[in-house]
Amino acid sequence: MEIHARTTKWSKGVKEMDVLSLQEKEIVCNKVAKQLFIICTTISILILIAITFGMLESPELLEYMTHTADSVNRGSRGAHLQSPHAGSGLTGVFSILPLLAVMLIPIIAVFFGIKKPLLRWETKKLLDNASLTDVNDLLTQIIWGFTPNEYNSNEVFTKDIIGYIEDNRESWVPNRIAVKASRLNIVYEAFITGIEQLRSNETVLDMSTLDEECRIDGVFQTDIKAQLMVDNGKYFTNVELLRKIHNQLVFKDLGGNEFLEGLEYVDTDGSTPVYRLMTGS
């Protein structure tokens, strides 16, 4: 099975994998495929060993195996020589069916019985390892341009992100946990005419940047801190975080830097993490 098709098929119904990117899903599926191969091969060997010992202990089993082997050999010779008795090959096939059942049923049962638990386990390991690295960088793999369009739906926002550029199809993981906090602060640079342009959840980091002598072409260049609250009271997912950042910047003048470059961790104010929004042109 082609790797993308296998990844799509295996990850279906495993909701834990919804928070993974396509590349991460492929990594998990490759690991599980290797584990399943080793496990199923081991089971096959153990069954063969059990049959071998059973033949030594049970004359009936030895007689059955000998009769089965003879039937298969006669069928093979008949088919090769195009003998009128080639139909006896069917007898050989039917005689080996119980043996195939003994071999295949346990393997198939184990394969489908442990595949999803293994996928969940490898997903958890991948996410646990990811939480120990690059925790300071967020949304760095997403290509997005901020526009005056406000979004009230995560689903519509996700659809537009995926449709924005082809690369986002593999890198955008909307439901993955971005920050485990009930609130966070983002700091971004904007050009405003005065504090009347600030929203209720925004403050200017340095009020001296709003002194009249700092006004250039009618606007002030300043850093704004905005506090974002999470809907579930526990954590931000990628889609909720980026959607709220996007809505925060609606009608803000970013000085031509309307393209997302990610969030850079700055500090933690009490229990509230602070990130600087990196933008570019």
126 has pLDDT over 60: yes
99 has pLDDT over 70: no
Model confidence band, residue 131 (pLDDT cutoffs 50, 70, 90): low
More confidently predicted of 75 and 253: 253
Quote the pLDDT of residue 134: 42
User: What separation in angstroms does the CA of 121 have from each of 4, 13, 16, 128, 132?
Assistant: 20, 15, 9, 11, 17
220 has pLDDT over 90: yes
More confidently predicted of 234 and 98: 234
| Structure confidence by residue, pLDDT tens digits, 15-46 | 888 877 777 788 889 999 999 999 999 999 99
Average pLDDT over residues 156-185: 90
224 has pLDDT over 70: yes
119 has pLDDT over 60: yes
Quote the pLDDT of residue 93: 52
Model confidence band, residue 259 (pLDDT cutoffs 50, 70, 90): very high
Quote the pLDDT of residue 218: 93
Quote the pLDDT of residue 57: 75
User: What separation in angstroms does the CA of 202 have from each of 7, 225, 254, 278?
Assistant: 43, 6, 15, 17
Quote the pLDDT of residue 143: 94
Residues 6+ apart with CB under 8 A from 234: 180, 182
Please count the CA atoms within 13 angstroms of the CA of 186 that sit on its side-chain side: 21
pLDDT cut 70: percent of the chain above it: 83
pTM of the model: 0.63
Q: Which of 60-69, 87-96, 190-199, 210-219 has the lowest mean pLDDT?
A: 87-96
Q: Which of 52-56, 108-112, 149-153, 171-175 has the lowest mean pLDDT?
A: 52-56
* CA–CA distance, 25 with 11 (Å, rounded to integer): 7
State the DSSP code for 197: G
What the block records as the tokens of 165 is 């550029």
86 has pLDDT over 50: no
